[in-house]
A and B are shown apart, each in its own frame.
Chain A
């Protein structure tokens, strides 16, 4: 994934022009009352969780990631690679669900340690060892 600047995917900045108007405000109110799953918004894991499971992601979702990056290299337009992106996200969601069912305590402990240590791998070796023993790569 690491390479020259032209090969890397461009992470666009968040758009400041939020849609204003009656419809948008109504939509916002509706979303506030409903749960995240009900509105269809995606809930992603935090950085500490992602850093905790990055080795599993590397081993399980390598092919889909490669496909997505190849699509991005071809055309950097976000609309062009939505399908591959969804596949990548689905892989991640499946993996997280799998890990939560198999070793929730170890994963939670590791993620909490990473959160406390601001994602420093060297400070969480014990939790990492316990997690990788319970849920091997």
Chain B
């Protein structure tokens, strides 16, 4: 599930070194290199540019020349150059280590988190179901008590209504107050009061 970091590489990916100078003689090239080394300093004078002391009087050859040189190409260069042995190599290669958890490990973590999450959701649902059941059970228990109260009130109200109707229709011959005959024969339903009378 985990990958170890890779072993460190050798410093082989460096800038290409300076191309070899085109000289015929190796000894001459070596002498030139030696001279070049000594000339690698900052100021012109300390670089060996003696022409500074003799302005306008010396050629490049007298200033920079060495014994046995045949062409200008054999002259040691007077330039700011690299230190002996060259500069240390610059690492430009990418080193992106593939360490740490693998993709499978990540997927496993996601899966575990989701499983845990869904389990918690289920637990919460079960708990809420229990609360709902408690509430509904309480309501079911209380229904008979409330209905009995309402029954008494309803019967009393029907009696009051009938009495009032009797009083109102006392003079009318053959008037029978109250609901005359049940409309429904199999089950009892309260009389339909219309709060919004409409013309059907």
Contacts and interface: CB of A to CB of B under 8 A. Distances in A.
Contact of B141 (A42, A58, A77, A80): A58
Interface in B128-158: 131, 134-138, 140-155, 157-158
B125 to A, nearest CB: 15
Contacts of A51: 138, 142
B147 A11 contact: yes
Given A12-B190, A21-B164, A82-B151, A1 B143 contact: yes
A contact residues, range: 35 or more
B3 interface: no
Nearest to A3: B140
A57 B148 contact: no
22 contacts: A6-B187, A12-B190, A15-B154, A19-B164, A24-B164, A42-B149, A42-B152, A50-B145, A54-B138, A57-B141, A57-B145, A65-B145, A78-B155, A81-B148, A82-B152, A85-B144, A85-B152, A86-B148, A88-B148, A89-B145, A121-B135, A121-B138
Interface of A: 1-2, 6, 8-17, 19-21, 24, 42, 44, 50-51, 54-55, 57-58, 61, 65, 68-69, 72, 75-82, 84-86, 88-89, 92, 121-122
Given A42-B152, A78-B151, 19 more contacts: A9-B147, A11-B146, A15-B158, A15-B193, A21-B164, A21-B167, A42-B149, A65-B145, A68-B147, A72-B147, A76-B187, A78-B155, A79-B151, A84-B148, A85-B147, A85-B148, A85-B149, A85-B152, A122-B131
